[in-house]
Structure 1
């Protein structure tokens, strides 16, 4: 869709003309995309403030406290059953090993007699091994006991899987509700943002924060919360079981912990800034793509495809380098942790074998301990490998929080005034306004538009014409003085109440993806079919609609490319006509229609303006000859005012503008 940036309460298009955008760019100091191949003005890179941003992100889980407690309990149950499993399997190994060894001795022999025989034969190591067993000489493997142990292990692992699955299901609901609220907060925030924010930011950059960054937060929370909880509980459970089996082997296994933290901290420190850069470049690339494809026709007309492709290539290369660096550096964690885990495994295997040989520990316990060592290093590796996901998510969260922390527009009054009159009298009383504090634009401006008057505003580009009407709409807040509507200060009204009384038609049309009927009806949701058709006939939309295959049911695509620029302009005028506002603002509303259609629309506008106060911004002075009051603006000041004949007779700024237009027209005709 084509949208200039904001909308009125009546649903008519609202925003800034090109003149006003130039004024903003020259006064705001913030970079703006000047065209489809202009460089994007992006926020400067800052190092990731990881701690506060991570705490703030986790703080958004606070409304889900009950669910998080349930998730924790389920995770504890799942991990507990999983951690007990290796010990049970170790008992099965002991049952098999003791049965095999016991079958080698004659029945009736006691375990102590078997040990004494081994020592008498000079085989002390074998005797020590036998002393660490529960041996019944002459008896083989007890398959009944072995079956019971294996069934118990199977039941434990099934229970662990069930609790883990339920935990993941509940946590998924929690994360999605958190992201749902975050999206709602961002959407609500955007509606409370002043128009000046969108003047400083590229649309693609804002869209990247609203879409890509929030999606990345969702994926990061989904991947890290469950895994972190399971991993930490697994580490605690495994450590407890390892100390139960062998404190010495447990101490050897714990050597991996400080080494893991040192490696993770060093790698994370280097990858944090790279993840910030990755998402910053993602926003820049989105902004460049959005500009290029929104103005793709202009790009082709001027043959600037190579420049656009070069700009895309440069930004894509920056994103590639940042993404590659972030993923490569953070990817070092996993192999490093695996190396540390393998070293730990070797030490445990060697020491454990020696302990079995001395009878200090059974072979089943060594087997269980080796499994525990794997279970111990695996969650550490997983936690370390999740560092890149976590850093990426927190980097995106920081960008979203920056948006949520932006200053908002002045809130509506708690006890708003009510406008009882419907005359549409507008008064500027010593109004001052500037886009930047150090650059005045409008100073001590006073004027009165009486009910039913048509006030035309003319002047050179950048004079402040569109700024004037945007102040009426409260798209920007004035710095001094006041603006009243029917005697009530507009700041004492809610924005909805103010804008619901104003209809606005811009030079830049805005149509959404829907039927022509829907686009006209946007001006008044309660309008009947007959009222929509009356508005279409009055503004000559009906004249071209019948030539379309589906008439009023013709669907306008997002770019509005299946109707001409002039037809789009007529639809927006019909929308304003249907809204039936008390105050009408026309910002070059007929600039996109042909001369014949303009004459017809002028008649329609005359009918629309009757009994209404109207502000008309015009560059073609021939269109505002019949205005009741013409204001000539230069550099934010009204330098002349009066009707057409009076201003021509004064031979001032208006007369010079008028003569320059008609002289140019005469020269073109003569040529």
Structure 2
């Protein structure tokens, strides 16, 4: 397709550059026969050639725009796909530090800047380059002396263009940074609008937004001032050059050193010569903006996942569900281990509850078991296979985590239940909901399973969202299910409803439950009490209560809270 574009561009520019020459021929060759013999044929032939050149230029131009648009859209589709795929592949550690506003800025405003360059920038650059080179060559060919005078403007144009290129590069890099700040603050404010309104934060948020918005305005004004200096500067050089050529050319014509047709062609070519300089200034605008955007996109695409896919993955077609931690050490901050040296085995089919104070390492252990992170030392194994040797798809098929956020996506209840198994039939979806006792509740909704959950499940209560999340996990049918504070946001009636569903979800599979509410812990076969990343108590819930240790203290405090 690019080869076709090159041919079309060459045809268009040859046709366009031929017109001033044909005007010269019309003056010098077409007009004298009319004055001498009233012979119109030479002039009519030249006029016909002008019309043909105009038609070729128009057709070639149209074809070029279509091909350019097609190529640009192919590039943009692939770029958006790569960025989206790469963001999904990056580990949670990256997304915990890279704000959602910056993610949106990369996929929207930065891609839009590149889109503008592909749609308009290259068109102007290619046309300008061919026009400048072609016009300079034709001017020297028509008359070497007059052409040399016309091209004396070259050094001035080069200095002016180089200044604009350097200054606009700095300016547009700042512009991309400022627009990212606007998007980040807007997304964070709207994403947390409930907290904003609850704490009457609107006025302060408006102050911050006004500040970053004003910074963006100021950065754009700098860019506009540069254009306001560059474009008039080009026009000044161009008009002075045309005046000099007209004066010097008229003197040469008076001495019969050049013809009037050559002088007319020179003036027409000079107009064509300086017009592309305006296109180049516009191209610099779009190019610098796109270049700054591309730097940011490249920075994202250069990020390597903290949990890379194995080069030679081990096949694990089925899993019993044994999870083992061997000498596992993990630290978020170097030198400050959250898990200093953990050895732990969870047999297949066992339900284990993790309890302990905040910061004890419970959620970290769950993230390692799902391979959201890799241990700093040691190994985490599923049925004897190091998680680092399992392909991501295989691991997610066998190990699933349900968190307290229980995120629901735009769509229906059925869509959200089959999230982990997109190919599941409607009968499978209903069976999963029925097994958890949620079928009647769902059918009572306005459209049953086709009820739209609204933004992030806002149409459902916390308990209903949790039941949908459990149905999703039940339908996915993993060998290992990890529940990270999955019932912490529920009221007591909702929790009782979910507790019954939990017993169904956990039956026949390995389960790791992280909970502060000990009502959830009571269904566990085994309780691990963690403190500073170490297991300080391990046993059945009833045995630990009877032993009178840390778990007994936690259990007593929980019972007192219910009174």
Relative to the length of structure 2, the TM-score reads 0.95
SS at match of 1:248: helix
- Structure 1 position 480 matched with structure 2 position 377: yes
SS at match of 2:373: coil
Deviation of 1:308 after TM superposition, in Å, equals 1.6
Q: What residue in structure 2 maps to residue 86 of structure 1? A: 20
Cα deviation, 1:560-584, whole Å, max 9, x if unaligned, reads: 2222222111111111122222111
Q: What residue in structure 1 maps to residue 11 of structure 2? A: 77
User: Is the CA contact 1:72–1:229 (under 8 Å) kept in the aligned structure 2?
Assistant: no
Whole-angstrom CA distance in 2 between matches of 1:611 and 1:260: 78
- 1:453 corresponds to which of 350, 360, 383: 350
User: Is the CA contact 1:501–1:582 (under 8 Å) kept in the aligned structure 2?
Assistant: yes
Whole-angstrom CA distance in 1 between matches of 2:219 and 2:550: 55
- 2:42 corresponds to which of 145, 152, 159: 145
Cα deviation, 1:608-644, whole Å, max 9, x if unaligned, reads: 2122111001011232123221112223222322222
Within-5 A mapping of 1:584-603: 584-603=481-500
Whole-angstrom CA distance in 2 between matches of 1:252 and 1:145: 31
Whole-angstrom CA distance in 1 between matches of 2:310 and 2:280: 50
Paired residues in the alignment total: 563
Is 327-336 or 514-523 further displaced after alignment?
327-336
- Structure 1 position 524 matched with structure 2 position 421: yes
SS at match of 2:457: coil
Measured at CA, do residues 634 and 354 of structure 1 come closer, stay the same or move farther in structure 2, by a change above 3 Å? same
User: Is the CA contact 2:30–2:46 (under 8 Å) kept in the aligned structure 1?
Assistant: no
SS at match of 1:500: helix
Q: What residue in structure 1 maps to residue 209 of structure 2? A: 312
Whole-angstrom CA distance in 1 between matches of 2:560 and 2:194: 32
Q: What residue in structure 1 maps to residue 114 of structure 2? A: 217
SS at match of 1:481: strand
Deviation of 1:652 after TM superposition, in Å, equals 3.5
Whole-angstrom CA distance in 2 between matches of 1:648 and 1:470: 28
- 2:443 corresponds to which of 518, 541, 546: 546
Whole-angstrom CA distance in 2 between matches of 1:324 and 1:641: 66
- 1:569 corresponds to which of 458, 466, 483: 466
User: Is the CA contact 1:540–1:601 (under 8 Å) kept in the aligned structure 2?
Assistant: no
Whole-angstrom CA distance in 2 between matches of 1:69 and 1:82: 20
**What do you get for the CA RMSD once the two structures are aligned?**
2.0
- Structure 1 position 270 matched with structure 2 position 204: no
- Structure 1 position 348 matched with structure 2 position 348: no
User: Is the CA contact 1:330–1:387 (under 8 Å) kept in the aligned structure 2?
Assistant: no
Q: What residue in structure 2 maps to residue 257 of structure 1? A: 154
- Structure 1 position 502 matched with structure 2 position 406: no
Measured at CA, do residues 331 and 177 of structure 1 come closer, stay the same or move farther in structure 2, by a change above 3 Å? farther
> 5+ unaligned residues in a row in structure 1: which ranges?
1-66, 103-135, 667-671
Of structures 1 and 2, the one with the larger relative CO (CA 8 A, separation 6+) is 1
- 1:604 corresponds to which of 497, 501, 516: 501
Whole-angstrom CA distance in 1 between matches of 2:470 and 2:416: 11
Whole-angstrom CA distance in 2 between matches of 1:523 and 1:245: 73
Q: What residue in structure 2 maps to residue 208 of structure 1? A: 105
SS at match of 1:556: coil
Whole-angstrom CA distance in 1 between matches of 2:494 and 2:440: 10
Measured at CA, do residues 450 and 96 of structure 1 come closer, stay the same or move farther in structure 2, by a change above 3 Å? closer
- Structure 1 position 371 matched with structure 2 position 371: no
Deviation of 1:397 after TM superposition, in Å, equals 0.8
- Structure 1 position 248 matched with structure 2 position 145: yes
User: Is the CA contact 1:92–1:146 (under 8 Å) kept in the aligned structure 2?
Assistant: yes
Cα deviation, 1:406-437, whole Å, max 9, x if unaligned, reads: 12244333432233664311111111111222
Whole-angstrom CA distance in 2 between matches of 1:517 and 1:431: 39
Whole-angstrom CA distance in 1 between matches of 2:211 and 2:554: 45
User: Is the CA contact 2:462–2:490 (under 8 Å) kept in the aligned structure 1?
Assistant: yes
Deviation of 1:451 after TM superposition, in Å, equals 1.9
Measured at CA, do residues 545 and 301 of structure 1 come closer, stay the same or move farther in structure 2, by a change above 3 Å? same
Cα deviation, 1:225-265, whole Å, max 9, x if unaligned, reads: 22211211111221122112221221122122221121121
More helix by share: 2
- Structure 1 position 423 matched with structure 2 position 320: yes
SS at match of 1:332: helix
Whole-angstrom CA distance in 1 between matches of 2:426 and 2:31: 88
Deviation of 1:665 after TM superposition, in Å, equals 4.6
User: Is the CA contact 1:172–1:222 (under 8 Å) kept in the aligned structure 2?
Assistant: yes
> 5+ unaligned residues in a row in structure 2: which ranges?
none
Deviation of 1:279 after TM superposition, in Å, equals 1.1
Q: What residue in structure 2 maps to residue 21 of structure 1? A: none
Is 378-387 or 296-305 further displaced after alignment?
378-387
User: Is the CA contact 1:413–1:492 (under 8 Å) kept in the aligned structure 2?
Assistant: yes
